[in-house]
């Protein structure tokens, strides 16, 4: 049967999402979901919308939501695209702006067929490039995950200033590192293809770069209702940018790409922003406090502008920490790549969840030190693998 499948699809390594287990009492800090519920007004709006109207198609352009987002971001509705999660927005951007390699004359080196991004960043990007049959250009971030400057990128020669599409996760995931608007502006100005700034975590950051999508015709900013607006389940994301690029995304999307309840939920969310801003502020406070506490018990904690922390744990290998925390019913995320193998990504939950994590970490450390009392602090895998 496999011969019936396109070779490109047969060879794909699909995206690996974080676990969504159904175990009770589990503390889930592995997929960057918001620990706080949607606002009561949003839940009421969804409930009100569940009636005989479910038999009707939803608004095909999510028009009201576009208008509300245009008002929020001080632009026109023609500068707003709504997608089935920002994942769909990213996939459509690849399809709208990048040629498949087979259609390009100079093969993998053709900038028109190139999706470009930094490593590490959102692990969906390579999957999107491969699915489309595009080439990928992966360029390492600095060792501390900061953004290389334009001059350094020119010197490094690996970066393509003519790539058809450049995807920048900002703030970065999975490191949590924030980037300034000025640095992103300089990068955008140097690029000749489309630049999409993936701002899934921007609401948790001190600074965002949305104005760049309104200033530069080739820059898009993608946002999502999933993380800061507690709406992963409903799948709503959006893109802000020049009307011509937005129209290109509209031209290739499914006719009813955003489900009706998702549209209702997102509109109600925008009508209750103070509720969300309060929770976002709480998450930022919890993040800072958790980072300080983990540092005092020996974790190396990277600065974060998101709702998660990337940490390098002490004494045991990161993978062992993943398992020991799981034994204590706490789920975190570990990535088996050279840059991240020595680290854990921990979603910032509630204060109670953070306290439970710290308690578990202290126990794990105590047990580890008791079982191998003479072992010096193991940092063997650290840093070396990164170049």
Q: Which residues bind ligand PLP (CB under 6 A)?
A: 85-87, 122, 169, 173, 198, 200, 224, 226-227, 232, 237
**For ligand PLP, the closer CB: 87 or 203:** 87
Phi, psi (degrees; rounded to nearest 5) at 140: -65, 140
- d(C-alpha 92, C-alpha 301), whole Å: 35
338 - beta bridge partners?
Answer: none
- Min CB(258)–ligand PLP separation in Å: 11
CA distance 31 to 306: 12
The three-class DSSP label of residue 61 is coil
Both tokens of 19, joined, read 């676990």
Least distance from C-beta 352 to ligand PLP, angstroms? 24
In angstroms, rounded to a whole number, what is the distance separating the alpha carbons of residues 290 and 279? 16
Nearer to ligand PLP, 159 or 201 (CB): 201
The torsion angles phi and psi of 308, rounded to 5 degrees, stand at -145, 165
Give me the phi and psi of 231, to 5 degrees please: -135, 30
Quote the CA–CA distance of 255 and 278 in Å, as a whole number.
36
CB contact at 8 A, 92 and 60: no
Nearer to ligand PLP, 112 or 227 (CB): 227
Q: How far is the CB of 260 from ligand PLP (least distance, A)?
A: 17
Which of 85, 111 has the CB closer to ligand PLP? 85
The 3-state DSSP class for residue 82 equals strand
Q: Please say which residue, 160 or 235, places its beta carbon nearer to ligand PLP.
A: 235
Strands (E), the chain: 27-28, 80-83, 114-119, 135-140, 165-169, 194-198, 219-224, 237-240, 300-301, 308-312, 330-331, 344-347
The CB-nearest residue to ligand PLP is 85
Q: Minimal distance in Å, beta carbon 187 to ligand PLP?
A: 17
CB of 225 to ligand PLP, least distance (A): 7
Residues for the chain: how many in total? 387
- Indicate the residue among 224 and 305 with the shorter CB distance to ligand PLP: 224
Q: How far is the CB of 172 from ligand PLP (least distance, A)?
A: 8
Kindly tell me which of 266 and 316 has the beta carbon lying closer to ligand PLP: 266
Q: Provide, rounded to whole angstroms, the least separation between the CB of residue 167 and ligand PLP.
A: 9
């Amino acid at each position: 049967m496999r011969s019936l499948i396109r070779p490109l699809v047969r060879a794909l390594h699909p995206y690996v999402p974080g676990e969504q287990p159904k175990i009770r009492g589990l503390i889930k800090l592995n997929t960057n979901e918001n620990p706080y519920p949607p606002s009561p007004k949003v839940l009421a709006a969804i409930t009100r919308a569940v009636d005989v109207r479910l038999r009707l198609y939803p608004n095909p352009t999510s028009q009201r939501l576009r208008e509300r987002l245009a008002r929020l971001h001080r632009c026109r509705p023609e500068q707003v695209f709504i997608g089935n999660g920002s994942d769909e927005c990213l996939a459509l951007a690849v399809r709208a702006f990048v040629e498949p390699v087979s259609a390009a004359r100079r093969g993998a080196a053709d900038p028109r067929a190139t999706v470009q991004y930094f490593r590490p960043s959102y692990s969906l990007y390579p999957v999107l490039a491969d699915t489309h049959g595009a080439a990928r250009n992966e360029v390492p971030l600095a060792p501390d995950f900061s953004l290389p400057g334009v001059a350094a990128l020119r010197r490094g020669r690996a970066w393509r200033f003519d790539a058809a599409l450049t995807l920048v996760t900002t703030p970065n995931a999975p490191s949590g590192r924030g980037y300034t608007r000025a640095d992103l502006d300089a990068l955008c100005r140097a690029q000749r293809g489309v630049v999409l700034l993936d701002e899934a975590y921007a609401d948790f950051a001190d600074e965002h770069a949305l104005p760049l999508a309104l200033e530069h015709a080739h820059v898009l900013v993608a946002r999502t209702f999933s993380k800061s607006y507690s709406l992963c389940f409903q799948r709503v994301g959006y893109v802000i940018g020049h009307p011509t690029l937005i129209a290109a995304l509209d031209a290739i999307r499914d006719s009813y790409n955003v489900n009706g309840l998702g549209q209702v939920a997102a509109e109600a969310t925008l009508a209750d922003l103070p509720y969300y801003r309060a929770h976002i502020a709480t998450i930022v406070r919890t993040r800072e406090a958790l980072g300080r506490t983990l540092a005092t018990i020996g974790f190396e904690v990277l600065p974060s502008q998101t709702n998660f922390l990337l940490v390098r744990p002490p004494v045991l290998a990161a993978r062992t920490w993943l398992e020991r925390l799981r034994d204590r019913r706490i789920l975190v995320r570990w990535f088996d790549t050279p840059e991240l193998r020595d680290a854990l990504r921990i979603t910032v939950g509630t204060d109670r969840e953070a306290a439970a994590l710290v308690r578990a970490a202290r126990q794990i450390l105590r047990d580890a030190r008791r079982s191998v009392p003479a072992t010096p602090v193991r940092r063997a895998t650290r840093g070396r693998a990164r170049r």
